[in-house]
């Protein structure tokens, strides 16, 4: 009789636990595509920039007023290499790269060039082929770079 009462109590507890568990189940939401990166800052560095390779003094980009995931550079770029960092102070931090090494930035405007973010690994950089005044838009919502050549020095 004691065993019967014990087993009955256990079954009731088990069923109660299952009923509570079912009420708390949630549907999973699958996110497809790229996830926007919210960051407060973005910097460019490289011998194409005025910062050269000084990671402690990279060139800050301006956050777009229209979209907080878009960062804009409007200024002079020399012939050379560059890449973008989320913060100054360390080459080991997360860095924005092109998908291929020495992806060109030139007097030919580019819209929607895919970009990627990672630390370590292959050190992919952009290659500024034509020195001059540029507008670069790093769109961290859609993970693309838009470049506009605005003229010579």
Q: Do the beta carbons of residue 95 and residue 83 sit within 8 Å?
A: yes
| Structure token pair of residue 134 | 């540029």
pLDDT confidence of residue 68: 95
User: In angstroms, how far is the first alpha carbon of the chain from the final one?
Assistant: 96
Q: Which of 136, 117, 138, 134 is nearest to 70 (CA)?
A: 138
Alpha-carbon span 82 to 140, nearest angstrom: 17
Domain boundaries, the chain: 43-151
12: helix, strand or coil = helix
Taking only the tens place, the pLDDT of each residue in 39-70 is: 999 999 999 999 999 999 999 999 999 999 99
The vertex-125 CA angle with 119 and 131, nearest 5°, equals 145
pLDDT confidence of residue 25: 58
Below-50 pLDDT ranges, the chain: 21-23
Q: Which of 85, 77, 84 is nearest to 151 (CA)?
A: 77
CATH label, 43-151, candidates 1.10.260.40, 3.10.580.10, 3.30.420.80, 2.60.40.3620 = 2.60.40.3620
pLDDT confidence of residue 63: 97
pLDDT confidence of residue 35: 76
Q: Do the beta carbons of residue 81 and residue 48 sit within 8 Å?
A: yes
- The total of other beta-carbon atoms located within 10 Å of residue 52's CB is 14
Q: Cβ-count burial of 121 within 10 angstroms (0-12 exposed, 13-18 middle, 19+ buried)?
A: exposed
């Amino acid at each position: 009789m004691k065993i019967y009462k014990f087993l009955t109590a256990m079954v009731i507890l088990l069923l109660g636990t299952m009923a509570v568990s079912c009420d708390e189940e949630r549907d999973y939401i699958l996110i497809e595509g790229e996830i926007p990166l919210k960051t407060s800052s973005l910097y460019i560095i490289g011998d194409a920039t005025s910062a050269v390779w000084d990671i402690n003094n990279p060139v800050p980009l301006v956050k777009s007023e229209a979209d907080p995931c878009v960062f804009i550079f409007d200024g002079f770029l020399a012939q050379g290499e560059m890449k973008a960092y989320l913060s100054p102070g360390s080459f080991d931090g997360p860095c924005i790269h092109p998908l291929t090494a020495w992806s060109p930035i030139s007097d030919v405007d580019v819209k929607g060039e895919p970009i990627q973010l990672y630390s370590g690994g292959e050190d992919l950089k952009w290659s500024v082929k034509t020195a001059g005044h540029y507008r670069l838009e790093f769109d961290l919502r859609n993970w693309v770079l838009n470049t506009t050549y605005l003229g010579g020095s």
